[in-house]
Structure 1
């Protein structure tokens, strides 16, 4: 353990973990190295020691348990108290981040450090490295959103998500971030931007008609921009058999999600026969897992119409 090898600890009395003594029902069997490190950590935290040896101790503990959020918080306090080189801290955090890519405390710590530095120059390249490891890492995407807001980096985001979606059209995290990039800023997107997004998403849907992520994005854009879902009717019909006029169950449906949207469109138009047909197809053939839900939607719409008379 490097913190023991580099520094003297003769003046520190380790504080053991209190699991209830002999009455403990199921004490945690910690690894000896971790147990000893935590005993020293409790001792220095008790006296609020901000020193090089305490800093090194936090490093060792984190590398043994990166999810220990109290250690991260204490490390931050030490760094600021000693006026340490925060750029070097970012380098170390990059190492830890790649070692523990699913850990969210790392990103909370990095946010504090970058906010203190008031400089995001290292961040987007590092984020891209982390997203190459896992393109759907929620903590990395969340950190990216904070970074974009904090440093007004909006210009990079739509082009970046375009690349990510072209690589994997089903990357729901990239779709979610794209929605943030379009609607997350203070400025309302122009009609041209919204129209471009709709066409971009339609093209992506045609590549993978069952892709829920793209459909959610498309309907989300319509609702957020105040455009009626009915504008999507002709597009949705291209994913069924338009020659039938959507009147019979003899349809060649290539996307259950298009059927869902059509049902919502026809329900909004009060065209209950067509909406009911869509719900029936979903319940009986194209989305049988949610059969009860679609039958419920159909009965609700029918009851609403009957209640109007």
Structure 2
């Protein structure tokens, strides 16, 4: 794109730009481009006058195009939109390609949340989030924003749950999708009610099926362990399931290090220290030696009173 300058723009002839002042001897002066430095000089001058205008919106759009991480510029743009009572749907239309051009930028999502909050409607947001996740299925900012949408607009729906299933089916190792499913089902208490037994059994069956597809995938194992902990149910069924993938007495029949980890915990709770040590030894020496120090530390804990592995 061609560079844009303001010193010869008649629209800005009344403004004297304010240069950045880093002091006489800055330790680490940043080498800004002339285009960016000039644009920021005009924005500082506009901010000093508390100017909220259409030309300021154009200026902030220009600066964001040069540096989308400048938080102050986003804040001033939001204040300008509010002061002008601007069309916020147009702002969302501008934000869409901007977000796609800056996939890892946090400020964009904070600004979007502010705009959607003022609009009071999540219309179209799910479709746009899907577009973003096509570019990066584990984008933290996008998933965090989706959780905010769910919480803000009460989207604890069958449709939202089905969407997590589609994401997990696409990639059973997508830990972000598993986390979002947990958030929907168990993560936020609603009206003080506990999750009913039908839902718990449904989730257990669902996650067990996912584990059978990929036994070495940690995300569903964490989800399954979380269910048993959250619902305070006996770990006997969890142990039975883990034994499908690991037997400490048959090292050649072990298909999941995560199952061994589960068994180590359960055996420790049952005070079967020898069995727990076998599981931890197998993890340290054969199935996860890169974390041998951690597994050996867990084994030391077994000989301390009232400490689980």
Cα deviation for residue 215 of structure 1 reads 1.0
Mapping of residues 96-107 of structure 1, within 5 Å: 96-107=98-109
Match of 2:128 in 1: 126
Pair 1:83–1:303, CA change in 2 (3 A): closer
Cα deviation for residue 2 of structure 1 reads 5.9
Matched, 1:177 2:180: yes
Match of 1:12 in 2: 15
Contact 2:178–2:220 (Cα < 8 Å) also in 1: yes
Contact 1:209–1:254 (Cα < 8 Å) also in 2: yes
Per the alignment, in what secondary structure is the counterpart of residue 153 of structure 1? coil
TM-score between both structures, scaled by the size of structure 2: 0.92
Contact 1:3–1:60 (Cα < 8 Å) also in 2: no
Q: Name the CA distance, whole Å, in 2 between partners of 1:198 and 1:56.
A: 53
Match of 2:273 in 1: 272
Q: Name the CA distance, whole Å, in 2 between partners of 1:195 and 1:278.
A: 28
Pair 1:76–1:292, CA change in 2 (3 A): same
Equivalent of 2:213, from 207, 211, 231? 207
Cα deviation for residue 291 of structure 1 reads 1.5
Moved more, 281-290 or 28-37: 281-290
Cα deviation for residue 40 of structure 1 reads 0.5
Pair 1:7–1:164, CA change in 2 (3 A): farther
Matched, 1:219 2:225: yes
Match of 2:61 in 1: 59
Cα deviation for residue 47 of structure 1 reads 1.3
Equivalent of 2:245, from 235, 239, 247? 239
Q: Name the CA distance, whole Å, in 1 between partners of 2:82 and 2:283.
A: 59
Q: Name the CA distance, whole Å, in 2 between partners of 1:6 and 1:86.
A: 27
Cα deviation for residue 260 of structure 1 reads 0.3
Q: Name the CA distance, whole Å, in 1 between partners of 2:26 and 2:295.
A: 52
**Deviation string for 1:98-123 (max 9, x for gaps)?**
11111111111011111111111121
Q: Name the CA distance, whole Å, in 1 between partners of 2:155 and 2:104.
A: 24
Moved more, 155-164 or 294-303: 294-303
Q: Name the CA distance, whole Å, in 1 between partners of 2:174 and 2:167.
A: 8
Match of 1:194 in 2: 200
| CA RMSD, 1 decimal | 1.7
Per the alignment, in what secondary structure is the counterpart of residue 302 of structure 1? coil
Q: Answer 1 or 2: which has greater helix percent.
A: 1
Q: Name the CA distance, whole Å, in 1 between partners of 2:121 and 2:305.
A: 57
Contact 1:219–1:229 (Cα < 8 Å) also in 2: no
Pair 1:7–1:211, CA change in 2 (3 A): farther
Gaps of 5+ in 1: none
Matched, 1:163 2:169: no
**Deviation string for 1:117-169 (max 9, x for gaps)?**
11111211111111111110000000001111111111032111100000000
Gaps of 5+ in 2: none
Q: Name the CA distance, whole Å, in 1 between partners of 2:125 and 2:183.
A: 18
Contact 1:3–1:53 (Cα < 8 Å) also in 2: no
Match of 2:261 in 1: 260
